[in-house]
Structure 1
């Protein structure tokens, strides 16, 4: 892996992995998001991409999760599948989230927010003591949002399919 590959997040599949046809790679990526994960992979034709992976912040079932975690930034990965090269080109977009009550509003803060992104884990524990007060005793619930929770499974699926994951910093997807 070269220096530029490291900067863009480009990864190559392991030696000996037989590349799958494009329709199988697409199907594997679309199958990633399920009801138990707070993100989805969907068709991206309306956004000049083949596929888009993003957090489910607008879905009512997940909105309270994101509200409780006070998420302020979200990652979106736009992907283009290039079957001739057996490559998925990916560009990240970081969205700023503001909350009006329990309704999220998303805004791309600047074009500079486009490229390969990473946000550190934001994690904390909520707990209640036996009398209902905040404290160390009693049941706890962990919350956190990390860009790798979305990016790693998507990228790993591409690599397991024998395709290259090429991060695109700027320019055409």
Structure 2
């Protein structure tokens, strides 16, 4: 049963035999990711968020917001993660909320005339949610910790 839920929640385990690093070292490594010039920003979580660390990404071109709340559990050497996203609703009535490890690629297209005079569809913008999730997950796994996805609460 654990394998089924691990797949549904996006849980990943480190390579067997890898010695876990200290929680403080992992926290520093996660905080060093992203930054102002990066795709996303990792910051300390607030008491209201009930998370140790929070990674946020805003994509104004797509009106998309991604948020990954992380709680470090040193006793089990795991990082519990709650992934949330706010994106435009299909019927244009506002935003749609989702949670869980949803992998998606967002694109914008434009019609342009080529050199031969024909109209063609050209991709003008592309964003893959893995650009935020993969660096976080890889940092946790390389530190010897488990990336444990949750759906309801940390």
Same fold by TM-score greater than 0.5:
yes
What is the SS of the residue equivalent to 1:2? Answer: helix
**TM-score, normalization: structure 2?**
0.78
Change (3 A) 1:155 1:108: farther
Identify the residue that residue 159 of structure 1 maps to in structure 2.
Answer: 141
Could you say which structure has the higher strand fraction? 2
Distance 2:85 2:34 in 1: 19
Deviations 1:62-96 (Å, cap 9, x if unpaired)?
xxxx44xx313322100000011100000111123
Deviations 1:72-121 (Å, cap 9, x if unpaired)?
332210000001110000011112359xxxxxxxx8745xx23x132421
Distance 1:122 1:95 in 2: 13
| Conserved 8 A contact 2:81-2:150 | yes
1:1-173 map, 5 Å: 2-46=3-47, 47-55=49-57, 57=58, 66-67=59-60, 70-96=61-87, 109=96, 113-114=98-99, 116-124=100-108, 134-136=112-114, 143-170=125-152, 172-173=153-154
Distance 1:142 1:6 in 2: 33
Change (3 A) 1:2 1:123: same
Unaligned runs of 5+ in 2: 116-121
RMSD across aligned C-alpha pairs, in angstroms?
2.7
Change (3 A) 1:73 1:141: closer
Change (3 A) 1:160 1:135: farther
**TM-score, normalization: structure 1?**
0.70
Change (3 A) 1:3 1:38: same
Question: How many residue pairs were aligned?
Answer: 142
Distance 1:72 1:117 in 2: 19
